[in-house]
Amino acid sequence: MSKKYKLKRLLVRRYQILAAILFILAAGLVLLPKYKKNEGIAPDLFVKNIISSERYISTDLLADRLVNQDPTVLLIDTRSEKEFNDYALPNAVNIPLKDLLNENFDGYINQDVYDVILYSNENFYADQAWIISNRLGYQNLYVLKGGLNEWFNTIINPKMPEETEPKEAFDLYSFRKAAGMYFGVGIVKSEVKKEIKKKKPTRKVITVKKKKKRVPEGGC
Amino acid sequence: MGPLIPNGIIPEDWNYIIAILIGFAFGYILEASGFSSSRKLAGQFYGYDFAVLKVFFTSAVVAVIGLYYMDYLNFLDISMLFVQPTYLWAAIIGGMIMGVGFLAGGFCPGTSLCAVAIGKIDGIVFTIGLVIGIFIFSESFSALEPLFESSNLGNITLVDTLGVSPYWIIFIFTIIALIAFVFSDWVRSKVKKVFY
Amino acid sequence: MVKKKQQNRHVYWNPYFGGFLLGLLIILTFYLTGRGLGASGALKSGVVTVVHTIAPTHAENNVYYSKFIKEGESPMNNWLVFEAIGVLLGAFLSGAFTGRLKLKVQHSPKITSRRRLVFALIGGILFGLGAQIARGCTSGAALSGMAVLSTGGFITMLAIFGTGYAVAYFFRKNWI
């Protein structure tokens, strides 16, 4: 009988132990220090990214990719709509800086299929857009170094190199000239306008698959 | 990190396979705990068998503590979990009707599926009744619609309603559960034993 | 041999153990899919499918059915239906392992089995009605709702069990 009694005591003790464990776990949840969770990348990584100049892509490289019709390039214009309608790089998507975090545009910047290249008149808006997106942890983002102004200075209107400069400079110049012709430079001005206007309807519609976070469904 | 399928870590197509596996475990646990027996389920209202209360409270406490610990350790994102919408009067009146149904039939839909699987005829009849009930509801939906759609308070949790930190709610919930366990054992020892 | 069968008849798992496993299962479900369990939704999908097959126009005209009928996709293509299939399989297996598979009507010895079946039918009808109004049953709303501290889950749970205790007196002849 005593063995059974001891067993019974152990049994009761077992439940008490389990109850105590549960209690301690619940109490732990209350007492543990709560820290704020960051959304996005860690601050030191962020600063490192800002300082490095890896994100810049030169206008020559961009021109090269566009001429070769690299399909992984996605140009995003961060200026206002009016400036976008005045002139924009071919096949660019307009996301004004203030609308950057708009959900509709999330599919363009938050994905890992295309290389997103942000540009604006100078570096300013594009850099800001890049900083915001990088903070949120998006990848494959680049900034066009010098923006459209640099683009004009190099591709549309390249500087003729001096006589004393090495051969590479001349190669670069002829490359820029050829790229410029691809983009519609060198044709008579009235035709230039028509050229650009004709390009508009054939603007490529990029169906970007959103890396969306599915809201979980539920039910009874 | 977080619920895996909504975050895309596991492809969407696995959803149904996971559903079957989870249902499998669910059915196994329910049946092995004896919930396919209607007398065991009804026993909790008469004091001779508190298995329902024990299983319910234990699973709720374990689940809520586990989920919040996982959220604390950044394995899970609680805000992405499905919280059902609260329709105040619909929940209360529907719950009352369900309570009566529970006592009359002795099953609930999940356990009635278990009973069907092991061949209890009253389980099969209960399931047929469920189907008829759903059918009746759908046919008379136009009459019941105002009740159904009324007072939608949205997908709120207790945190929003009571305004207290969730950890305190969990703590108090645990204490209530532990007290309920002790109480149920005490009641059981006082009630006449029923063999079923 | 008979004695062993007698002993095995009501050997269920310890309810705390079952509850613990169920809690772990709910955590796993939420972690994998972000949603909780459910049971009555599967039956609702079944009803919608049957009605849609038999009388498509009536189903589309009815406000409630049309919510669940999408073009080209059967309403059975629902997470809960697959879960219900799993529940049936799991319970069958558990019953098979412990020798509880038997076609019978379980009722208190004080009433006839016919009365039990009648009450089961009535209970089912009421429960089906209530589950649709409250958008959830005990497993879906109460269990999974409590796991995320949802207000609706708690309200439904309290309503079900509160009413259960209130009317238990009237049904006592059936059970005790």
Total beta-carbon pairs less than 8 A apart between chain A and chain B: 58
- Mean residue pLDDT across chain A: 73
Helix (H) or strand (E) holding A108: helix A106-109
B174 to A214: CB separation less than 8 angstroms, yes or no: no
**What pLDDT sits at residue A41?**
66
Window 17-36 of C, Cβ < 8 Å to B: 18-36
Chain A residues close to C137, C-beta within 8 Å: 220
Q: Give the least confident one: A119-123, A129-133, C7-11.
A: C7-11
C131 to A220: CB separation less than 8 angstroms, yes or no: yes
Whether the CB of A29 is below 8 Å from some CB of chain C: the reply is: no
Name all chains with 3 or more CB-CB pairs below 8 Å to chain C. Answer: A, B
**What pLDDT sits at residue A124?**
82
A219 to C137: CB separation less than 8 angstroms, yes or no: no
**What pLDDT sits at residue A219?**
61
- Cα of A35 to nearest chain B Cα, Å: 9
Q: With respect to residue A28, please indicate whether it lies within any of the assigned structural domains.
A: no
Instruction: For residue C25, name the pLDDT band (cuts at 50, 70, 90).
Output: very high
Which is more confident, C175 or B58? B58
Q: Which residues contact B187 (CB under 8 A, 6 or more apart)?
A: B47, B50
Range of the domain at A89: 43-199
Instruction: Convert the pLDDT of each residue in A49-91 to its tens digit.
Output: 788 777 788 777 877 887 787 778 778 888 888 887 887 777 7
Average pLDDT on C117-137 reads 87
3-state secondary structure of A118: strand
In this structure, what CATH number is given to the domain that contains residue A95? Answer: 3.40.250.10
Nearest to C34 among B3, B28, B64 (CB): B3
The segments of chain B whose pLDDT lies below 70 read 195-196
Total beta-carbon pairs less than 8 A apart between chain A and chain C: 31
Dihedral of the alpha carbons of B157, B85, B93, B65, in degrees to the nearest 10: -40
C79 to A15: CB separation less than 8 angstroms, yes or no: no
- DSSP designation for A130: H
pLDDT at A20 over 70: yes
- Substitution target in A22, A39, A212 with the highest count of B β-carbons within 10 Å is A22
A30 to B61: CB separation less than 8 angstroms, yes or no: no
pLDDT at A163 over 70: yes
**pTM, to two decimals:** 0.73
3-state SS, chain B, equals CCCCCCCCCCCCCHHHHHHHHHHHHHHHHHHHCCCCCHHHHHHHHHCCCCHHHHHHHHHHHHHHHHHHHHHHCCCCCHHHCCCCCCEHHHHHHHHHHHHHHHHHHCCCHHHHHHHHHHCEHHHHHHHHHHHHHHHHHHHCHHHHHHHHHCCECCCCEHHHHHCCCHHHHHHHHHHHHHHHHHHHHHHHHHCCCCCC
Q: Give the least confident one: A21-30, B29-38, C59-68, C90-99.
A: C59-68
Average pLDDT on A170-199 reads 62
Beta pairing partners, C150: B157
Rounded Cα gap, residues C65 and C55, in angstroms: 11
3-state SS, chain C, equals CHHHHHHHCCCCCCHHHHHHHHHHHHHHHHHHHCCCCCCHHHHHHHHHHHHHHHCHHHHHHCHHHHCCCECCECCCCCHHHHHHHHHHHHHHHHHHHCCCCCCECCCCCCCCHHHHHHHHHHHHHHHHHHHHHCCCCHHHHHHHHHHCCEHHHHHHHHHHHHHHHHHHHHHHHHHC
**What pLDDT sits at residue A128?**
82
Instruction: Convert the pLDDT of each residue in B164-180 to its tens digit.
Output: 888 888 888 999 999 99
Window 118-157 of C, Cβ < 8 Å to B: 119-157
pLDDT at A22 over 50: yes
Whether the CB of C145 is below 8 Å from some CB of chain A: the reply is: no
Chain A residues close to C35, C-beta within 8 Å: 216-219
- DSSP designation for A152: I
Q: With respect to residue A84, please indicate whether it lies within any of the assigned structural domains.
A: yes
Cβ neighbours, 10 Å, residue B184: 20
Instruction: For residue A194, name the pLDDT band (cuts at 50, 70, 90).
Output: very low
Nearest to B65 among A19, A26, A37 (CB): A26
Burial of B10 (0-12, 13-18, 19+ CB in 10 A): middle
Q: Which residues contact A211 (CB under 8 A, 6 or more apart)?
A: A107, A110, A111, A112, B8
Nearest to C136 by CA among C119, C155, C123, C163: C155
Q: With respect to residue A175, please indicate whether it lies within any of the assigned structural domains.
A: yes
C40 to B130: CB separation less than 8 angstroms, yes or no: yes
**What pLDDT sits at residue A205?**
52
Rounded Cα gap, residues A148 and A141, in angstroms: 17
Kindly identify which residue of chain A lies nearest to residue C128, measuring between CA atoms: A220
**CA angle, B38 as apex, B36 and B39 as ends, to 5°?**
125
Q: With respect to residue A178, please indicate whether it lies within any of the assigned structural domains.
A: yes
Q: How many independent structural domains does chain A possess? A: 1
**What pLDDT sits at residue A37?**
62
Helix axes B166-190, B51-72, angle to 10 degrees: 160
Q: Which residues contact B179 (CB under 8 A, 6 or more apart)?
A: none
Q: With respect to residue A1, please indicate whether it lies within any of the assigned structural domains.
A: no
Nearest to B170 among A26, A213, A219 (CB): A26
In angstroms, the Cα distances linking B4 to A38, A137, A215, B138, C33 are 20, 19, 12, 34, 6
Rounded Cα gap, residues C92 and B127, in angstroms: 16
pLDDT at A203 over 50: no
Which is more confident, C89 or A172? C89
Instruction: For residue C23, name the pLDDT band (cuts at 50, 70, 90).
Output: very high
Q: Which residues contact B92 (CB under 8 A, 6 or more apart)?
A: C155, C159
Chain C residues close to A18, C-beta within 8 Å: 16
Nearest to A218 among C36, C39, C40 (CB): C36
pLDDT at A202 over 50: no
Q: B63 with B69: CB under 8 angstroms?
A: no
Nearest to B23 among C83, C105, C133 (CB): C83
Instruction: For residue C4, name the pLDDT band (cuts at 50, 70, 90).
Output: very low
Average pLDDT on C65-94 reads 82
Q: What is the ipTM of this complex?
A: 0.89
